[in-house]
Homo-oligomer: A and B are copies of this chain.
Amino acid sequence: MIDHLPYGVFRTPGREPRCAARFGDHLIDLYAAESAGAVEAGGTLRARSLNDLMSAGPDVWSSVRRQLLNRPPLDHLVPLSEVELLLPFEVADYVDFYSSEHHAGNVGQIFRPGQPPLLPNWKQLPIGYHGRAGTVVVSGTPVVRPGGLLGAGVVGPSQRLDIEAEIGFVVGIDSTLGRPVPIEEFHRAVFGVVVVNDWSARDIQAFEYQPLGPFLGKSFATSVSAWVTPLEALASAWTPAPPQDPPVVPHLNDDPHHGLDLRLTVTWNGVEVSHPPFASMYWTPAQQLAHMTSNGATLRTGDLFASGTVSGPQRGEVGSFLELTWGGTEPVELGAESRTFLLDGDTVVISATAPGADGGTIRLGEVSGTVLPAVI
């Protein structure tokens, strides 16, 4: 656990939010630790979110991490059972990619049967879109079933509420408008990693999305883990990404072409239903970052870009229930129940592990959510 040291933000009754690092069943109160001189971070830990630390840049990130690893300030431990965990950073822009070939291929087969599963641009660039930053919520936040137009003149609660199991990357520092961020800058630009559930109302999405893409079908909630794993903690998790054919254009050429060997688990009402392998993603996070800024768009502290649904080649490796139930036509067994999409009261937990140092395993912060009935 000590090699992991993910960051978060907590609150205890009657107090302002404080930055923390997780330490087993406890957290280290980093506000208290920096105030007491037990760690030096230029004051960035005495803030109500991780944004100050994130904007301080990679040298400070390394320095703080080294201090915490070398001299954990254990005088400032608080039991996790006594705190409320909050959204750990203020989200600037939220981008969602679509970078699993298996997921894109499955969705293509389900929605466009008989046609090529991938569109012609899919292997040329990482397809992505902007989501709603203001509805990114922390793990544990209830998710109200969205209502909306399910077809011409038909309004009602979504009948096809789904999950998307993803990994999200949190940007630390700003870049300059009009200047693309080269692919080599990935390790200096990205502060850390969260587990993401990009909740999706497939019926709302299907009716609205032509020609401008998903909007209300995804903007009601995107859940992220309460803990941000620093990119440095994943040093042992890099692994070759799948070969790319055709070759990518120069500004998307990453060398090494590496992804992260993260293994996700999707648990639905306590039943493990899928184990999506992040290492199978076609487009890597470095390629996504380079693509996103290739037009001169800026990065800002708190930008979140998510991988897109993580799906492996097997049915037990898919990151959405759309795929798991093949468009709702092949129910899955949850204990005594046979199920397709989410019902009110359902709880989904997505967790992830990664190779740690010396053959160990890191458990990333999980993301959970329970569905509440629609308001309309």
Contacts and interface: CB of A to CB of B under 8 A. Distances in A.
A35 interface: no
Contacts of A132: 93, 130, 297
A88 interface: no
Interface string A71-114: 00000000000000000000011000010000000000000000
Contacts of A375: 178-180, 296
A296 to B, nearest CB: 5
Given A211-B119, A215-B129, A124 B137 contact: no
Contacts of A297: 132, 134-135, 216, 219-220
Interface stretch (A52-60, A201-209, A264-272, A326-334): A201-209
A300 B94 CA distance: 15
A231 interface: no
A176 to B, nearest CB: 10
A134 B246 contact: no
Interface residues of A, number: 65
Copies per complex? 2
Given A127-B208, A208-B125, A303-B134, A146 B216 contact: no
A351 to B, nearest CB: 24
A221 interface: yes
A250 interface: yes
A293 to B, nearest CB: 9
B216 A291 contact: yes
A152 interface: yes
A178 to B, nearest CB: 3
Interface in A133-156: 133-135, 137, 141-142, 144, 146-149, 152-153, 155
Interface of A: 92-93, 98, 119-121, 124-125, 127-135, 137, 141-142, 144, 146-149, 152-153, 155, 177-180, 201, 204, 207-217, 219-221, 246, 249-251, 291-292, 294-300, 303, 372, 375-376
